[in-house]
């Protein structure tokens, strides 16, 4: 029987062109976690083993979304093993993905966005990060991978060459975003191609750096926010301004059914808030 390491390497090669690199890495980590938990060869893992492992994750306070993502990786791995003839049976086949929490995504109201902007007043780099996240609705990983050549200044557009699902898309940005982004780029003394660079100016900005900044913002303003909160805010504020849901979803780069349904509900909630104010 083929070893786990060799099989995972082949799995990685098979899906490296179909999935994002980070997604493949996360799936491999999930398989390695499962194998370590079962303490035996992956070929002997049963459905019961997988269910017990999932229960152990829940007891360890993993979020439902995290357990769901890990199980999705496990399922894809075993499906691959079945298709390649490595296994004769898929132990994960009849295990359903955990139901996601159906809460609406949190987004900032106008006064909360104003508080955030005031908090970073005078901090050129931080303000540029916030404006790009809010004006474009991009994911944090997409933002740190942006290159300066991806920006079309006359049209105020940015090409996202490898978004979720490796699909290229175009996002727009406001004049306010343009002002703060140019101010940040003007103070840079490096020749790196990235739109945002790390503190040592040796490479792109690290997503963790941005996440830690948002943790600090949360502590200072007293309400929760993350980089992804600005993505939700982008969608909600466009909905309030009357942009059709289909257009917002294109800008967000949404292709999965659950994402579409969740943002459809967010869209209608945002539109309802405007209705309630007018009536």
Kindly list the domain boundaries of the chain, sorted by start residue. Answer: 4-83, 110-278
Q: Is the pTM of this model over 0.75?
A: no
Amino acid 19: pLDDT: 82
- CATH number 1.10.150 given to 4-83: yes
By the 8 A CB rule, do 36 and 70 touch? no
pLDDT-based confidence at 248, cuts 50/70/90?
confident
Amino acid 49: pLDDT: 94
Q: Which of 28, 223, 190, 23 is nearest to 107 (CA)?
A: 223
Instruction: Tell me the HSE value of 128 on the side-chain side, using a 13 A CA sphere.
Output: 20
User: How far is CA 113 from each of CA 156, 198, 222, rounded to the nearest angstrom?
Assistant: 22, 25, 13
Mean pLDDT over 170-175 rounds to 94
Mean pLDDT over 78-87 rounds to 91
| Top CATH class, 110-278 | mainly alpha
Mean pLDDT over 190-213 rounds to 95
pLDDT-based confidence at 258, cuts 50/70/90?
low
Number of H helices, E strands in the chain: 12, 3
Highest mean pLDDT among 13-22, 95-104, 123-132, 211-220: 123-132
């Amino acid at each position: 029987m083929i070893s786990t390491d060799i099989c995972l390497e082949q799995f990685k090669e098979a899906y490296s062109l179909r999935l994002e690199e980070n997604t493949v890495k996360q799936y491999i980590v999930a398989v390695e976690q499962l194998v370590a938990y079962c303490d035996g060869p992956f070929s002997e893992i049963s459905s019961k083993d997988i269910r017990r492992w999932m229960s152990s994750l829940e007891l360890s306070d993993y979020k439902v979304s995290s357990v769901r993502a890990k199980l999705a990786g496990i399922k894809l791995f075993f499906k691959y093993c079945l298709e390649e003839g490595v296994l004769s049976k898929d132990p994960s086949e009849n295990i359903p993905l955990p139901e996601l929490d159906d809460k609406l995504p949190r987004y900032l109201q106008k006064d909360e966005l104003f508080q955030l902007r005031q908090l970073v007043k005078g901090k050129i780099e931080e303000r540029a990060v916030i404006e790009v996240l809010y004006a474009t609705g991009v994911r944090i990983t997409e933002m740190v991978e942006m290159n300066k050549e991806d920006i079309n200044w006359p049209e105020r557009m940015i090409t996202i060459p490898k978004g979720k699902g490796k699909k290229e898309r175009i996002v727009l940005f406001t004049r306010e975003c343009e002002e703060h982004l140019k101010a940040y780029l003007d103070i840079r003394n490096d020749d790196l191609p990235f739109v945002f660079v790390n503190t040592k100016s040796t490479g792109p900005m690290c997503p963790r750096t941005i996440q830690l900044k948002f943790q600090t913002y949360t502590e200072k303003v007293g309400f929760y926010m993350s980089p992804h909160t600005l993505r939700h805010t982008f969608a909600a504020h466009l909905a309030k301004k009357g942009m059709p849901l289909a257009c917002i979803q294109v800008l967000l780069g949404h292709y999965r059914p659950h994402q579409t349904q969740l943002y459809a509900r967010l869209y209608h909630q945002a539109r309802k808030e405007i209705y309630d104010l007018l009536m």
